[in-house]
Structure 1
Amino acid sequence: MTTFSLVVLPLLACVCAIHYRKQLLQWLSIQLGFVKSANHGCCATQSPDLKRMAPYPAQPIKGRERYRVMMDIRKLDVQNWLTIDKNYMAEHRVRSQLLHEKKTQVLQCLPESLDACREALDEVAEFLCRRFPCMFERAGDDGLPFIENRMTGERFALGTRDPQEELTAALEAAVRLTMEDLSILLMNEDGEYYLAASASLFPTGWTVEERIGWTISRLHDPVPLWHQHVANSVSKFLARLTPTSPMERSNYFIEIKRPNENLFEILYRPNTLCEKDLDNPSPQEIIIRRERQTFRRLPRTGAIVFGVKTYLTPLDELPMQELENLAKEMKSWPDYVGEYKGRNVWGRKVLEYCATRTSLDVLMGEVNEKVEV
């Protein structure tokens, strides 16, 4: 074998591997929503191609070196208040199953929320028909307006004030149309906002049936340092929110996927995200579960619509920079925060995987430099 075969050919193989890895990461970033896709929206003359619609970009993990509970509020991208992507049909099937099998656990509406729920449905329908006209259509039948979901064939009445209508009908229709969970926040006599209605189908450690009617403050009792760091700011923020100043924020959790779990079991987590008996999960079983949370004041009733879009990213598909940021953040958590977040279950594996990926990147970088020379 010649010197060329011994030295150059292995280096060329490494170059090909590096090139493929870059292409793969770029493709993953588009598919997982870290890069905006030109196919995110649609027009009336186009046929929807859900399989090519990347999720609206989730906020990356920032890698803060000091733990602090933060609101991290930013102005809402109003053109993307509600989003549609390639995961729509799979998640819609999960939503339908939940509303059929566990409706009381995931959907509750107090009587005083009825008018706000109906307004929320009207707002959802108007937005979806304008933003995704190839997928949703508003029409009328004998004077009764309705919205049709062209992807599922479902129709839902709009504008009804029928006193015999089921209390939860409007909010159920809204979350059957969207990919977001939706809740209605009203202010009580003490000036505190509370959960007056909620369709939270993809919860993390709680159910609507348990917490309907709770104030925002009580809802966050289990969160370490929430009351010390942001409770007052949250109250002021909600009170000042106007129909023309919608806002959004992001949050993330770490979830452990059991072997052979399906999408229903991964998304519906009313008990815990990290079972303690799963003490050695693989990178494929560690899921970064992100939430994009939106806040809109309804113009007619003055209620607040709180939306939550859930994103799932396996640890082994997380971009390198975010993986390093996750490792940095988890090291900054006090022990009681780490215990609350389940770090004792998945923390060691995350650090091991991060170290392995880092070493691989360094090695491939060195090979790349040698080839260029």
Structure 2
Amino acid sequence: MKRYPQYFELNEKGSSILNKIKGESVPASAANLKPEEMLRYIATNIEEDMLILIKNPDTEQYDEYVLRAAVSLMPAGFNPLDKLNQPLTTIHGPVPGYVQKLQTAMNKFFTRLQAHEYYVRNNWSLQTHTNLCAPTGSHATKEESVKIHPLYPSDLDFNKCFFRVEKQCFTRLPKTGADLMFIRTYTTSLMQLREHLTHEQKEILCSAIDGLTGDLAIYKKRIQWGEAAKSFIQGESNGSQPIPKDYTFVH
């Protein structure tokens, strides 16, 4: 109500909040709501996905934070139900190199997070489908990679291929000490993106695509769309460019 008073208004009794965009009201207090009801109100009034993680000293893995509640409408490459009640390391199990490179830092970050602090990070990927809710189709395993073949630009409709960015915001709830994570997802078609990128920005994006190597190239499915996307971004969109002969990966 403070940020968007033109859209959200408290009624005279102070018992409900009117969402003027939808013409619907939600309770002003969660005191009498079941957790599922509260999550449903959040999901239908806030654009971001929301995750609540609570420290669980009884977990076997590194005294980690555990995902205890979530509103996840736009997952990319995973089923949110599979992540519920799982510690961070298990949640990130499919991510190549997580244990070796990220586990310790992630655990420290979630433990040191303080109320009224807000940390923002972004990640990106390319997807060759139109699904915002994409529990499958965005990632691949080593076993699946043997059946994946590189695509030509002519294989793809770049109006339906998207540069997908997650803006993730982290903070801690002051009363419970639970960690809160918000995720807003942005998607831009490669057709639209290419029209607005400078030559230098195109080179930066293609360099970032080249930076996805080894197991990460498999996980992100870069082995499938990488060369086709680069060819299109650089303006070689007629589909006549052959895949380089040395474009191979060791599985």
Question: 289, 293, 296: which is aligned to 2:171?
Answer: 296
Over aligned residues, Cα RMSD in angstroms?
Answer: 2.2
Displacement of 1:329 after TM fit? 1.6
| Equivalent residue, structure 2, for 1:268 | 133
Displacement of 1:278 after TM fit? 9.4
| Equivalent residue, structure 1, for 2:21 | 151
Q: Does 1:325 align with 2:193?
A: no
**Size of the alignment, in residue pairs?**
219
| Equivalent residue, structure 1, for 2:180 | 305
What are the residue-to-residue correspondences of 1:113-262 with 2, within 5 Å? 129-141=1-13, 145-162=15-32, 165-190=33-58, 191-257=63-129
CA contact under 8 A between 2:162 and 2:190: conserved in structure 1? yes
TM-score by length of 1: 0.55
Displacement of 1:277 after TM fit? 8.4
For the pair shown, which has the larger CA radius of gyration, 1 or 2?
A: 1
| Equivalent residue, structure 2, for 1:356 | 235
Change (3 A) 1:149 1:278: farther
AA matched with 1:153: G
Question: 332, 336, 339: which is aligned to 2:215?
Answer: 336
| Equivalent residue, structure 2, for 1:18 | none
Displacement of 1:227 after TM fit? 1.8
TM-score by length of 2: 0.80
Between 1 and 2, higher relative CO (CA 8 Å, sep ≥ 6) is seen in 1
| Equivalent residue, structure 2, for 1:287 | 162
Q: Secondary structure, in 3 states, of the residue corresponding to 2:73?
A: coil
Give the helix-richer structure, 1 or 2. 1
Unaligned runs of 5+ in 2: 141-147, 237-251
Change (3 A) 1:344 1:285: farther
CA contact under 8 A between 1:256 and 1:274: conserved in structure 2? no
AA matched with 2:133: Y
Unaligned runs of 5+ in 1: 1-128, 358-373
User: How far apart, CA to CA, are the structure 1 residues paired with 2:81 and 2:212?
Assistant: 31
User: How far apart, CA to CA, are the structure 2 residues paired with 1:313 and 1:278?
Assistant: 22
Q: Give 4+ residue runs of structure 1 displaced > 4 Å after superposition.
A: 274-278
Change (3 A) 1:160 1:198: closer
CA contact under 8 A between 2:77 and 2:139: conserved in structure 1? no
Q: Percent identity?
A: 27
AA matched with 1:291: E
